[in-house]
Amino acid sequence: MRGEKIHSVRGLTRIYRTGPDEVHALRGVDLDLCSGELVALLGPSGSGKSTLLNLLGGLDRPDGGEIRFRGEALASFDRRALADYRRRHVGFVFQSYNLIPSLTARENVELACDRAARPIAAADALEQVGLSARMDHFPGQLSGGEQQRAAVARAIAKRPELLLCDEPTGALDSRTGVQILELIERCSVELGAATVLVTHNGAIAAMADRVLSLVDGKIVEARRNAPRRKARDISW
């Protein structure tokens, strides 16, 4: 089910330079993202999928091409505007959770919502991810799965228009991983956000509306899953 177009990406390139070497992480990627859509970026290591995710989230800047968010080119944003873009419109879920260790689960969520227009209360967000009972625990006191739930709660509480999940199950066992995917699936539907899920696991990609396969920085295949698989039916 596709909503309005949120992002449009054209001719995106990104080159990493280490000494004399140049690594072309992205070589002219075109992509549109619509609200309510779950897109999987599938590819092996080094295919450019995380790079694309970082560019979409405004964590990095491209060397060529453009990303437009609701018609505005991200390239025209200065540092502050780009930070504001992330703060208001983007939710991140990382493989390494990246919770602030000195803040409790609830405080981590609260921290992410301070400029959101109509955020979900931190307690509600944590309840949605099944972490009500442990919301006042510090990350160091939570298991990996619980930390990732907290990270999902943090990402969704601001009601982002773009939810970016980079290998969210990479550090988890498969049972816990499936639980996290179910959360992402449910939240993406409930929020109506455009959700991008980076994975190298074809099984996980089956839960997406659309699967974009990347190899050597290019989208080599774009396909639709009809119908998409439920997250709970996925196993690996």
Partner 1 sequence: MRALPLLERKLLRELRQIAGQAAAIVIVVACAVATAVMSFGVLRSLDAARAQYYERCRFGDLFASLPRAPESAAEAIRRLPGVAGLQTRLVADVAVGLAGTEEPIVARLLSLPERGEPEVNAIVLRRGRFLGADDAPEVIVSESFADAHGLVPGARLSVLVGGRSREMVIVGVALSPEYVYALGPGMIAPDDRRFAIMWTARRVLEGALGASGEFNDLAIRVKDPAALDAVARQVETVLAPYGAADVHGRERQPSHAFVSAMLHQIAGVGRIAPAIFLFVAAFLVHTVLGRLVEAQRQHIGLLKALGIGDAAIGRHYLELALILGAAGIAAGVAAGTILGSGLTRLYAGFFHFPALSFRHDPPSILAACAVAIAAMGLGAYRGVRAVSRLPPALALAPPAPPGYARTWLERLARRGPTVGTLRMVLRHLARFPLRAALTITGLALAVALQIAMLFSFDALDRMIRFHARAEARDFSVGFARPLPSAAIGEVARWPGVVKAEAWRMLPARLGSGGQGRVVNVTGLTQSAALRTLLDAKLGAVPVPRQGLALPGKLASLLGVGVGDSVTLQPLGSPRTLEQPVARIVEQYIGLDAYMDLDALNALLPGEPAISGADLAIDPARRGEFVRALKGNGIVAGISERSAVLASFRDTMVRTLTLIVSFFVAFAGVTASGIAFSSARITLSERGREFATLGALGFSAAEVARILALESAILAAFALALGCLLGVALAWLIVQRLDTELYRVPLVISARTVVITVLVVVAASLLSTWSVARRLRRMDLAAILNARQ
Residue 140 binds partner 1, judged by CB under 8 A = yes
In the region spanning residues 143 to 162, those forming contacts with partner 1, defined by CB under 8 A, are 154
Per the rule left: phi > 0, alpha: psi between -120 and 50, beta: everything else, 170 is alpha
Task: Note whether 123 binds partner 1 by CB under 8 A.
Answer: no
C-alpha span between 38 and 162 (Å, rounded)? 10
How many other CB atoms are there within 10 angstroms of residue 148's CB atom? Answer: 30
Least separation in angstroms between CB 52 and partner 1: 11
3-state secondary structure of 23: strand
- Lookup: tokens for 78: 């200065």
Beta bridge partners of 218: 215
Q: How far, in Å, are 18, 136, 229 from residue 122 at the CA level?
A: 42, 11, 30
Only segment of 41-49, 57-65, 184-192, 207-215 that touches partner 1 (CB under 8 A): 57-65
CB of 84 to partner 1, least distance (A): 6
Nearer to partner 1, 149 or 210 (CB): 149
Binding mask 73-92 for partner 1 (x = CB under 8 A): ------xx--xxxxxx-x-x
Please say whether the beta carbons of 142 and 105 come within 8 A. Answer: yes
CB nearer to partner 1: pick between 79 and 118 = 79
- The residues binding partner 1 (CB under 8 A) are 50-51, 54, 57, 59-60, 79-80, 83-88, 90, 92, 94-103, 107, 110-112, 114-115, 138-141, 154, 166
